[in-house]
Amino acid sequence: MKRFAFASLMAAALALAGCAATPSSIVTVPTTARPIPPEPAAQAANGAIFQTAQYRPLFEDRRARHIGDTLIINIVEKTVANTDGASTGKKDGKASFTPPGPLQARLGGSVSTSASTSFADGGTQSASNAFTGTIAVTVTEVLSNGNLIVAGEKQVAMNKGIEFIRFSGMVNPDMINGNAVASTNVADARVEYRTNSRIDRAEMSSMASRFFQSILPF
């Protein structure tokens, strides 16, 4: 029985270590895509400037529109949420009676009692988050209506930790300005920031210690 309990504790510790090493990601789509190879031209190159297979309008704006094109996402995310709640209650009770016969003369009339209870409860909850940055993403899919599915990832190694920034979402080409778009104009946006630094490992170790202390109070 003791061996089984020890094995269970070791399995839980390994599971927590695995979660710390490979955290789950909310960005589930591929973070990059290669351009689709062009179909072979019907005619061989004849030396002219205009080539059908490589044609791109001369005066078009240089913005992402094909699979494999890159797009700049300006991440400007800020959320503020506040919740207030309050409740009150009050209850009163009263009872009286008149003693019969000899008890009435001894007690001097009627007997009465009353009780009152009241309570008040209130709470306030607030949350505020801010995330700013810039990331280049790749067009992974072009929908039938022209909207672009984009995704990208950035990894920055600093000292002994690595920062991961991942992004995915759907972009309306009309929102693109100078081949850049704000994250607030991206539909179904998923913005993720994670690290594997020692701070995260320390937080995970603290969670593991609290877990073991909860089941082994000695």
Residues sharing a CB contact under 8 Å with residue 108, sequence separation 6 or more, in sequence order: none
Rama region for 3: left / alpha / beta (φ>0; ψ in -120 to 50; rest):
alpha
pTM of this prediction exceeds 0.85:
no
Q: Report which of 218, 197, 190 is spatially closest to residue 26, judged by C-alpha positions.
A: 190
pLDDT along the chain (218 residues), means of 10: 49 49 69 74 60 62 86 91 84 72 61 76 84 92 94 86 90 92 94 74 58 56
